[in-house]
Structure 1
Amino acid sequence: MSSVKQRLVQTVNFLGGGQQSPSSLPWNPDSSAFPRRKDLPKISGAPEGAAWVWGKDDNIGRLNLLTPKRVLHASSLIKTGELIPLNLPLNNPDPPAFHREDFKHTIKELADETCYDDLYELNTQSSTQWDGFRHFAHLPTKTFYNGAKASDITGPNANLKCSIHHWSEHGIAGRGILLDYRRYAKANGIHYDPCSGHAIPFQELVKCGRAQGIDIRPEAQGGDIKIGDILMIRAGFVERHGELSREERVKLIAHRTENDGDLGIFQFAGVKQEEEIIDWLHDCYFAGVVGDAPAFERWPTQQSYHLHEYILSLWGMPLGEMWNLEGLAAKCAEEKRWFFFLTSSPANVQRGVSSHANAIAIF
């Protein structure tokens, strides 16, 4: 965006009253501009840096930004109607990372040779998934999004606070953006194994975006990212996984022979834990962020915190992992087009923690 256009956007926001005041709670999802992370209000009873700004009974966080107006605008990206499914098979990765259970599928015969059912036994975190707000707490305070506690999730007083079914009832649809870091890295001599702790810093994402013709700053700062966009970063895990034998996957990904309680033995490429990344992820006001690796962020963390804490518990931003971005990356490169319409339908399970994504990109 030119400096003239940037000033025009800022002027319209100011004069039109569309800019959200930090202290005016709850925030209006239809606002045309939102406060930066450094300007977040202090919320009574919340951890430092919490953006619990959509109301005390809110359960959907940044999905509030997927307003009818933004969804309608995103639908204008549909030009050819081509569908790109983004879901791995339910038994992929095989075996799963982080000591999760294998997917089990049984076919049940209801009537001799004429009628059948499926029976699934699965962990919703074992394939293409959304991490729900019940999945990961702010560790120092043991607090989940919008003040939820462990007692809200399990035990005699368990309830529906931050349950995944709220996402299902709202729905997920909007403008998706792909940053194909794997393609950029290969083109620029950056050699790494996605099954290693390779960290992707903000400045490399800036260069990746520039190579794709995208300014990855928020629109309010002169960039191309719109409020409510759904970010996808391809780090190359799915590509690498497909190159490995099952024996290699057991060794590099599943660590089935290691101590089941030690998650630090796992290593995956992902977004770097750093202040530039945290500010960017917050200030763009993404409705969700997605990666193709098992953790989205570089695993294990290089800091005293996890990005999961910011994304899920402090901000209420849906976090997708192990999405199959291979076909999408090929289509985007072919079309030289990195924005598209995205739909996802989380499971309608009351008290649910997370869900498979059931996601499709539409061109």
Structure 2
Amino acid sequence: MRWKNRPEGSNWGDFGPDDELGRLNLLTPDKVLQGVAEVHEGRSFCLSLPLDYPGGNALNRLRHPPRRFTSGRGDKLNYNFALNRINPSFTDVVSDDAVLLFTQYSTQWDALSHVGALFDADGDGEAEPLYYNGWRAGEDIQGPSGHEDALEGVCAKRLGIEKMAETAVSGRAVMIDLEKHCGHERVLVDYARLQQILKLDGVVIEPGDMVCLYTGFADVVLGMRKNPDAPTLENSCAVLDGRDPLLLQWITDSGLSVLIADNYAVEAYPAREGQGCCAALPLHEHCLFKLGIHLGELWYLSELASYLRANGRSRFMLTAPPLRLPGAVGSPLTPVALV
């Protein structure tokens, strides 16, 4: 056993001692069928921003836009390359390209190896860096020893994003329309406010449902046309109050399988001040570290939210697998909603 103690409020071990899926275990075939039952018109919605948005690095100085390049082919580039250079009888013209992509720059999933915490799982009085279900930093999630290290073999050997991809991430999803009630004002949504919105809109969330929060933030990002203004972004649209213990308990009790938003971090970042030693990202700690709930961020939900609002609906079919990239701690994706 990797741990003697598990964090208070966690579900470590509930899905097995070596589990790497967390609450994705609740995304069962029955949930897929429930999702299929929500498809009435055969319409589909792309839920991804263009992956070169938001532009620049105003949201996160450590994440940068995609860099495109191509390889050489002799003394030419392998782009608009006429194959008659190889054989005069060939008529083909070919282009290949490559991209250097920060996996969490735009529309993304957080893997369970993205955020861990210091916790005394051994009961020896000394906290060690751990991730969901007690998988260990430095052993199960291995990082480089220096900036110049090659990344060969440096990866999440456990809890990598490929574990999520292998499930295909398909099933019933539920939209919570925060923008309808909060506009584009920067507000902290706590448990009481969230429950009020759910009641007003008649939204019901059942175990295994994938939950999406529409705030309008991605609309603000798109309106800046890849030239984001940091102060505007920091003061736009609703965010969950990760410091509210009642809200965190609701996430536990609801049985939701994943939590998705069109904003930067789902929760307010930085979070409002806590007491004593605490997580800078309390909702991330609660979801990724304690419960194994993958977080989706910077999704594009506007068109889908408008459709659901106009049709008095909140449920839809969602398919949202990340890249099957072994060992990655996050991934871009192009999720699809069907209604």
What TM-score, normalized to structure 2?
0.80
Q: Which amino acid aligns with 2:26?
A: L
SS at match of 1:330: helix
Distance 2:239 2:46 in 1: 22
Q: How does 1:63-142 map to 2 (within 5 A)?
A: 63-96=24-57, 97-99=59-61, 100-107=63-70, 109=78, 111-112=81-82, 114-140=93-119, 141=127, 142=129
Q: Quick one: which of 301, 317, 320 aligns to 1:341?
A: 317
Which residue is equivalent to 1:229? 209
SS at match of 1:59: coil
SS at match of 2:9: coil
Sequence identity (%): 28
Find out whether 1:149 has 2:136 as its counterpart: yes
Q: Quick one: which of 299, 312, 320 aligns to 1:323?
A: 299
Deviation of residue 139 (structure 1)? 4.1
Distance 1:334 1:62 in 2: 31
Distance 2:41 2:163 in 1: 32
Q: Which amino acid aligns with 2:60?
A: F
Moved more, 274-283 or 131-140: 131-140
Find out whether 1:359 has 2:335 as its counterpart: yes
Contact 1:241 1:249 in 2 (8 A): no
Distance 1:252 1:106 in 2: 32
Which residue is equivalent to 1:210? 199
Find out whether 1:270 has 2:239 as its counterpart: yes
Distance 2:271 2:218 in 1: 21
Q: Which amino acid aligns with 1:226?
A: E
Q: Quick one: which of 275, 283, 290 aligns to 1:307?
A: 283
Q: Structure 1's 345 and 159: CA in aligned 2 closer, same or farther, altered over 3 A? A: closer
Deviation of residue 106 (structure 1)? 2.8
Q: Structure 1's 250 and 300: CA in aligned 2 closer, same or farther, altered over 3 A? A: closer
Distance 1:115 1:203 in 2: 57
SS at match of 2:96: strand
How many aligned positions are there?
292
Q: Structure 1's 184 and 352: CA in aligned 2 closer, same or farther, altered over 3 A? A: same
Distance 1:157 1:353 in 2: 11
Contact 1:95 1:250 in 2 (8 A): no
Distance 1:276 1:57 in 2: 29
Q: Which amino acid aligns with 1:114?
A: V
Contact 1:267 1:300 in 2 (8 A): no
Distance 1:158 1:107 in 2: 25
After superposition, the C-alpha distances for 1:7-63 in whole angstroms (9 at most, x for unaligned) are xxxxxxxxxxxxxxxxxxxxxxxxxxxxxxxxxxxx833222221110111111111
> Would you tell me which structure has more helix in proportion to its own residues?
1
SS at match of 1:170: coil
Distance 2:113 2:100 in 1: 21
Contact 2:188 2:268 in 1 (8 A): yes
Distance 1:278 1:243 in 2: 32
Deviation of residue 287 (structure 1)? 0.8
Deviation of residue 345 (structure 1)? 1.5
Contact 2:109 2:331 in 1 (8 A): yes
Contact 1:267 1:299 in 2 (8 A): no
Distance 1:131 1:248 in 2: 22
Deviation of residue 157 (structure 1)? 8.8
Which residue is equivalent to 2:166? 169
Distance 1:93 1:158 in 2: 26
Structure showing greater radius of gyration is 2
Q: Structure 1's 168 and 231: CA in aligned 2 closer, same or farther, altered over 3 A? A: same
After superposition, the C-alpha distances for 1:194-239 in whole angstroms (9 at most, x for unaligned) are xxxx31112222222223222xxxxxxxxx2211001111122112
